[in-house]
Chains A and B, each alone.
Chain A
Amino acid sequence: MGRISFGQQGFFVIGAYAAGMATALGGAPLAAGVLVGGLAAALAGAGFALVMGPRRGIAFAAGTLAFGELARVALLAFRFQVLVGADLVGPAGPDGFRGIRLLFTSGLPLGAYAVAIWVALAAIMAALTWLLRARPGEALVIVGQDEGLAAAAGIRVARVRVLALAAAGGLAGLGGGLLAHYATYVEPGHADVMLGVHSLAYGLIGGLGTPIGPALGVALDIGLLESFRVLRGYRMIIFGGLVVVFLAMRPRGLLDEATVHRLARRLRRRVA
């Protein structure tokens, strides 16, 4: 919605901690626990929108960065350990939150977990693709480009902002819950600012015109970064340079709105 977040890692760890607490401390089933993580992060996103939503540009971006750091530092101080069986389980400040074991004690094969993640990803992409073609998606795009115009068309701008940030937080929180259960632990260090920078880069590299764009961005970002390992110490320099050159040439990413529109039109003509 026309704003840039450097704080997705904050929503990610909030989701991870909430999901871990739901299953390891609350005894929730795995799927419910992951959903609790998403919900907690969505609430955090909505709360953030109420405070920072009206701000744009540098103020908003700096606010997200501060939020991410706030989440990390708050979790460094957060202790809530409970005796589960013979073990103390729960967030333990800088030592993180260990013993989120439900995935491994439930007997669910890891392959099935991976399939479930891919299915969830596909469902979210399908939902976002539908949303962007439907009326609420139009409102979202208009608010993103010009809030004054959106208001003049009667769009409830503040509500759109809250929903958009809740969705963005919730998606990051789902990711956090999924990772926490796979890794069996999560720690404040997971809210490293570089995670937020990369998640921003996914969208900026892959393109902001379609939900496929950020997924493509993930493949390019991780693919390039891994294939540059042979370059050793120069790896990050070359990768960073490539990102800069790329953004200079395509400021809204590979699959930007104009490209997506052109591709869709060509496809429609071929089908017709």
Chain B
Amino acid sequence: MRLSVEHLSVRFGRIVALRDVSLGVAPGERLGLVGPNGAGKTTLLDAIGGLARPTRGEIRFGPWRLSDLPPDAVARAGVGRTFQVPRLCTRLTVAANVRAGRALDPEPWLERVGLAARRHDLAGALTAAEARRLELARALAAEPRLLALDEPFGGLTPAETDAMAALVARVATPDRVTLVVEHKLGAVTRLCDRVIVLSQGEAIFDGPSAALRGDARVREAYLGRSRAG
């Protein structure tokens, strides 16, 4: 199923978080969403996930108009996501966090992300890297057709970043739309074939990762302020 965002604007009071953003992503594609802090990356994921309501435009995913659905219905329509700051239920075990009240077996997903040995531990006891992997397992367990990862490398060491990138590459299957929000350019350009750069709520670049560094507008909006990772 294809994700298409059309003329999407999101405002919070007087702040315009996203302005007239349009994009389409086909199954099998890995799209990186990059941009400096406050560019609107997480807002775009929240709008797709039903957590932020568009003031204009719409978001379609296959037969669904995601922009009309509440967040739980978006999830059941096949959208799985992780959060910028990992959100886990710290009062439940690792295995219960993967299951998350759903009729599924957490074991294969725990194996997939390498957390099988910690299945009986409380999720609150995990390290930052393990918490990111647990979130990924929870999102994957519903076998989503759209996987949206919000800064999957945030807070990880270089070695953990490489391991996570390899894991994401494995789960970004051809039948699945994969979105990766990240502000570190390096990790995203290695992982994603295509990149969209957001700056102050607008999409200023949409193209292959290889063309990113040569683009003048991107350099001005992005590289001028923070070093490429």
* Residue of A135, A141, A152 ringed by the most chain B CB atoms within 10 A: A152
Instruction: Check A154 against B92 for contact (C-beta < 8 Å).
Output: no
With a CB–CB cut-off of 8 A, which chain A residues contact B103?
135
With a CB–CB cut-off of 8 A, which chain A residues contact B88?
149
In the complex, A258 has a CB within 8 A of chain B: yes
Instruction: Check A153 against B75 for contact (C-beta < 8 Å).
Output: yes
With a CB–CB cut-off of 8 A, which chain B residues contact A153?
75, 100-102, 138, 142
> What is the predominant secondary structure among interface residues of chain B facing chain A?
loop
Instruction: Check B75 against A138 for contact (C-beta < 8 Å).
Output: no
> Could you mark each residue 80-100 of chain B with 1 if its beta carbon is under 8 Å from any beta carbon of chain A, else 0?
110100011111110010011
> What is the predominant secondary structure among interface residues of chain A facing chain B?
helix
In the complex, A75 has a CB within 8 A of chain B: no
CA distance A9 to B174 in the complex (A): 56
In the complex, A100 has a CB within 8 A of chain B: no
In the complex, B152 has a CB within 8 A of chain A: no
CA distance A251 to B71 in the complex (A): 31
CA distance A150 to B102 in the complex (A): 11
With a CB–CB cut-off of 8 A, which chain B residues contact A150?
72, 100-101
Q: How many residues of B contact A (CB 8 A)?
A: 29
Contact among A139, A152, A156, A257 with B81 in the assembled complex (CB-CB below 8 Å) = A152
> Could you mark each residue 149-178 of chain A with 1 if its beta carbon is under 8 Å from any beta carbon of chain B, else 0?
111111111000000000000000000000
In the complex, B26 has a CB within 8 A of chain A: no
Q: B157 to chain A: closest CB distance in Å?
A: 25
Instruction: Check B91 against A152 for contact (C-beta < 8 Å).
Output: no
In the complex, A29 has a CB within 8 A of chain B: no
CA distance A1 to B81 in the complex (A): 23
Would you list which residues of chain A between 2 and 40 have a CB under 8 Å from chain B? Answer: none
CA distance A149 to B83 in the complex (A): 9
In the complex, A56 has a CB within 8 A of chain B: no
CA distance A239 to B9 in the complex (A): 56
Instruction: Check A151 against B89 for contact (C-beta < 8 Å).
Output: no
CA distance A142 to B98 in the complex (A): 11
Contact among A140, A149, A151, A154 with B102 in the assembled complex (CB-CB below 8 Å) = A154
Q: How many residues of A contact B (CB 8 A)?
A: 24
With a CB–CB cut-off of 8 A, which chain A residues contact B124?
258
With a CB–CB cut-off of 8 A, which chain A residues contact B83?
149, 152
Q: B81 to chain A: closest CB distance in Å?
A: 6
In the complex, A241 has a CB within 8 A of chain B: no
In the complex, A95 has a CB within 8 A of chain B: no
> Could you mark each residue 51-75 of chain A with 1 if its beta carbon is under 8 Å from any beta carbon of chain B, else 0?
0000000000000000000000000
Q: B103 to chain A: closest CB distance in Å?
A: 7
In the complex, B155 has a CB within 8 A of chain A: no
A151-B50, A152-B75, A155-B72 are known contacts. Are A138 and B96 too (CB-CB below 8 A)?
yes
Report the 7 A-B pairs with minimum CB-CB distance, sorted nearest first.
A139-B101, A154-B75, A151-B71, A153-B100, A257-B91, A151-B72, A149-B87
Which residues of A line the B interface, CB within 8 A? 135-136, 138-142, 145-146, 148-157, 209, 257-258, 261, 265
27 residue pairs bridging A and B, Cβ less than 8 Å apart: A138-B96, A138-B99, A141-B89, A142-B89, A142-B100, A142-B101, A145-B89, A148-B51, A148-B87, A149-B87, A149-B89, A150-B100, A150-B101, A151-B50, A151-B71, A152-B87, A153-B75, A153-B100, A153-B101, A154-B102, A155-B72, A155-B101, A155-B102, A156-B72, A157-B72, A257-B91, A261-B122
